[in-house]
Amino acid sequence: MVSIPAQPYNYELVSLNNVALVIIDMQRDFLEPGGFGAALGNDVSRLRSIIPVLKQLLTTFRQLNLPIIYTIEGHKSDLSDCPPAKINRGNCELKIGDIGLLGRILVLGEPGNAIIPELEPLPGEIIINKPGKGAFYSTNLQAKLSEQKITHLIFTGVTTEVCVQTTMREANDRGFECLLIEDATESYFPEFKQATIEMIRSQGGIVGWTTKAENLLQAMGNLSLSIK
């Protein structure tokens, strides 16, 4: 067991056998011009700053042959799993299902719905298509984690205050030990990211812990060395 420097106190990683990396919604619709994020009027370039750190984490988890879970927010082509309230909210020029520069916005299988090329999943890595903000809602994520006896989840991705936080809260309610990597998550609004980080680790870690990637990577290296 190793203790990872974190807030509000150290996060304990007992083994590498029960931990998984969760990468939330690093898809073109949110990170590239012409996608849903841009249609909402956001500066999508902000989200790209975390790509180098995510690549480091991916490399380490792949080298150690540990579970990696990607989530993709998207809907069926007929939008039967997308409530009208979600389609109409935002009052923006392009809505879910409309045709944008990257294909139909937030529709599964469209070019914009794919994970960005820099973080493209490898065969065998888990992809969870989710119709909501949280990755447990109307998906088989719980079953996938139970199959592999995962108890500790490392959270990354976008956006911090929406899909990342929602999934962390869902995971916390299900008994998972949740660690958010501060420099591997991002928001279109820096103040929202900071507020979310503070909420997650408030009141003794009411939702979970937060730390920097270097702290996690060093601890994982120590654990892998102790196994050999």
List, by residue number, the catalytic residues: 25, 130, 163
CA distance 205 to 164: 16
**CA distances to 23, 124, 147 from 71, in Å:** 6, 14, 18
Nearest of 2, 9, 3, 1 to residue 209 by alpha carbon: 9
Nearest of 123, 117, 95, 145 to residue 26 by alpha carbon: 117
CA 54 from chain center: how many Å? Answer: 10
